[in-house]
């Protein structure tokens, strides 16, 4: 499977994907890393791995739709079949999301549908939660929604601060994002309505939790 990865920053989840596809029997090839930020560290990760990169600055466009259309053009030119959001810090337009429907996935640092949006670790701590986690899901027009592919859970420890909790969650992001890409590349994931099935079973069964 040919994969495009969209980034805005350090690219740690990108690196997890690069490491996984480079293994023997990897799930596919990352054919493009696209960033809206010219100095995003993730671009250096891609270049070190010999992956083509493209910078499309959102500030060069009058609105989200035209920016997203430029991204679609670049992604399609790469031949990518799956688009992975990995710390891409721009809201996507409905036409872009609809165009890539069920071919566009995201990772979010919470157990969706809880804690959509930003500053998740601190919000989890403020709420007194006993566990946190992360979710890989297909993208829909409403932020941080869409059929869930896989989740991982981590405990919230008594002495946690937001940074400590975020680091523990990020470790699991690096596990489940490559796993989700492999499931899709192997043809084991289907979407029926707004539910994800893995090997024809609902994706929320315990066997599919990391």
* Active site positions, annotated: 108
For the record, the structure tokens of 101 come out as 């429907």
CB atoms closer than 10 angstroms to residue 9: 17
71, 96 contact by CB (below 8 A): yes
Please count the residues of the chain: 210
Judged by DSSP in three states, 185 sits in helix
Backbone angles phi, psi at 109, to 5 degrees: -85, 50
Angle between helical axes of 12-21 and 41-48 (0-180°, round to 10): 10
Backbone angles phi, psi at 51, to 5 degrees: -95, 135
CB atoms closer than 10 angstroms to residue 142: 10
């Amino acid at each position: 499977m040919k994969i495009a990865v969209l980034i805005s920053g350090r690219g740690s989840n990108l690196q997890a994907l690069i490491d996984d596809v480079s293994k023997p029997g990897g799930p596919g090839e990352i054919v493009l890393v696209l960033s809206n930020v010219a100095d995003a560290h993730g671009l250096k990760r891609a270049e070190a791995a010999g992956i083509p990169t493209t910078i499309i600055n959102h500030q060069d466009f009058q609105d989200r739709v035209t920016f997203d259309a430029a991204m679609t053009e670049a992604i399609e030119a790469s031949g990518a079949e799956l688009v992975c959001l990995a710390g891409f810090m721009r809201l996507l337009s409905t036409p872009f999301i609809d165009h890539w429907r069920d071919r566009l996935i995201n990772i979010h640092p919470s157990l969706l549908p809880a804690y959509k949006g930003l500053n998740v670790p601190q919000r989890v701590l403020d709420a007194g939660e006993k566990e946190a986690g992360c979710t890989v899901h297909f993208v829909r027009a409403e932020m941080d929604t869409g059929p869930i592919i896989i989740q991982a859970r981590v405990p919230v420890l008594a002495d946690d601060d937001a940074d400590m909790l975020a680091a523990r969650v990020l470790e699991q992001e690096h596990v489940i994002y490559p796993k989700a890409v492999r499931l899709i590349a192997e043809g084991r994931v289907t979407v029926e309505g707004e539910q994800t099935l893995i090997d024809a079973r609902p994706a929320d069964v315990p066997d599919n939790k990391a």
